Amino acid sequence: MENRNTIRWIVDNDVHKLQLEEAAQCLRRNEVVAFPTETVYGLGGNALSDEAVGKIFAAKGRPADNPLIVHIADTGQMDSLVRSVPEKARKLIDRFWPGPLTIILPSGQAVANNVTAGLSTVAIRFPDHPVARALIEQTGLPIAAPSANRSGMPSPTSAAHVEQDLAGRIAGIVDGGETGIGVESTVVDCSGDEVAILRPGGVTRAEIEAVVGPVIVEKHEDDTANAPKSPGMKYRHYSPDAELRLVDGSQAFVQSLVDKEREKGTRVGVLTTDEHRMTYLADSVISCGSQSDLYTVAHGLYGALRAFDAQNIQVIYGEVFPETGVGEAIMNRLRKSAGGYIQYE
């Protein structure tokens, strides 16, 4: 699988049908193709085909018990994919689709077995990216798509990231430039009596609660005793090769940790923001965005994590962010990337 030729189709947002025809044909032939969404790049395959879905798992090296999100470009496509759409799910759909919200619903007949990893529910998402929508429409199929990274790596926010992880392992990459939001969609479970946020993401908890009232938020950190509701939550995730160490403290404290580690001969990086970048001295200092707008941090986060690897950094000290709004998703990813551990001053 390593040595096939991965085609790259470069498109822009007012993409023409012809530019996507080859990619759409690959998908119809049950090949797998990466494409941009408004959150991160996805690795797409025909959600009705066990064969195509099997190729997604194989290319990513993804554990078979971690189910995939099925992407649609028209709510009518849901009819054969789900058994029912509860009232609250309907409200969320009306408010947030197309957009960065994935909804878990009781699954219907049509979905390939390996998409749901044997669960009785299925995750559905209607992405808000012109290229993703055009590609899905053109295939006429529901498209299963996890993030287009090697399992465990940070999700890709550019075609170059996808290439780093999957070149030679997939049929092609639709290159639509950098993605906008930069962290994945929010996953909400609407299959039970109460709405639960399984993964914070592009749509914030406050935005969801404004539509359906109070929701449950799955707390899974350090909760190894209980089986996670979203199977993806139990794996090491979003981790560059370098070891990320989160620090909740002053810049002087972070710098003291950097200095101590560098004395041992380690190549040390600092993950910081525009406001603080000039205050650090290390082998690599990278800003992922501005503290005054956490959406810029979400946008730059995964690219920054990957950039440390490109500079052979061994240990990254990372600042923490307030866990409100999109900060909840940012800290969720940073915590996982750091193995759940934060060092306090």
Give min distance, CB of 65 to ligand TXA, in A. Answer: 9
Work out whether strand 101-106 and strand 121-125 pair parallel, antiparallel, or are unpaired.
antiparallel
Range 81-110, binding ligand TXA (CB under 6 A): 100, 102, 104
Q: Does 67 bind ligand TXA (CB under 6 A)?
A: yes
Give min distance, CB of 209 to ligand TXA, in A. Answer: 20
Closest CA to 291 of 273, 303, 278, 279: 273
Interaction partner, residue 104 (ligand TXA, Mg ion, none; CB < 5-8 Å by kind):
ligand TXA
Sign of the C-alpha dihedral, residues 160, 164, 165, 166?
Answer: positive
In the 3-class helix/strand/coil scheme, how is 175-242 assigned residue by residue?
ECCCCCCCCCCEEEECCCCCCEEEECCCCCHHHHHHHHCCCEECCCCCCCCCCCCCHHHHCCCCCCCC
| C-alpha count within 13 angstroms, C-beta hemisphere, residue 167 | 6
Binding residue (CB under 5 A) for Mg ion from 46, 49, 121, 147: 147
Q: Exposure pattern of 149-184 as b/e (b: 16+ CB <10 Å)?
A: bebebbbbbbbebbbbbbeebbbbbbbbeebbbbbb
Give min distance, CB of 178 to ligand TXA, in A. Answer: 14
Q: Does 151 bind ligand TXA (CB under 6 A)?
A: no
Give min distance, CB of 220 to Mg ion, in A. Answer: 15
**Beta sheet of 121-125, edge-to-edge order:** 7-10, 172-175, 33-35, 42-46, 143-144, 69-71, 121-125, 101-106, 186-189, 196-199, 216-217
Binding residue (CB under 6 A) for ligand TXA from 185, 284, 296, 337: 185
Q: Are 52 and 31 in contact (CB under 8 A)?
A: yes
Dist. CA 151–CA 160, nearest whole Å: 17
In this complex, which beta carbon is closest to Mg ion, that of residue 236 or of residue 260?
Answer: 236
Sign of the C-alpha dihedral, residues 56, 54, 134, 70?
Answer: negative
Q: Which stretch binds ligand TXA (CB under 6 A): 62-70, 251-259, 276-284, 311-319?
A: 62-70
In this complex, which beta carbon is closest to ligand TXA, that of residue 217 or of residue 278?
Answer: 217
Give min distance, CB of 278 to ligand TXA, in A. Answer: 33
Range 231-260, binding ligand TXA (CB under 6 A): 231-232
Give min distance, CB of 188 to Mg ion, in A. Answer: 17
Q: Does 52 bind ligand TXA (CB under 6 A)?
A: no
Dist. CA 300–CA 83, nearest whole Å: 38
Q: Which stretch binds Mg ion (CB under 5 A): 48-56, 146-154, 188-196, 256-264?
A: 146-154
Q: Does 122 bind ligand TXA (CB under 6 A)?
A: yes
Dist. CA 311–CA 41, nearest whole Å: 23
Binding residue (CB under 6 A) for ligand TXA from 37, 49, 138, 158: 37
Range 174-233, binding Mg ion (CB under 5 A): none
Binding residue (CB under 6 A) for ligand TXA from 199, 245, 299, 306: 199
The residues of the shown chain that bind ligand TXA, judged by CB under 6 A, are 37, 39-40, 42, 66-69, 100, 102, 104, 116, 119, 121-123, 125, 127, 145-147, 184-185, 187, 198-199, 230-232
Which parts of this chain interact with Mg ion (CB under 5 A)? 147
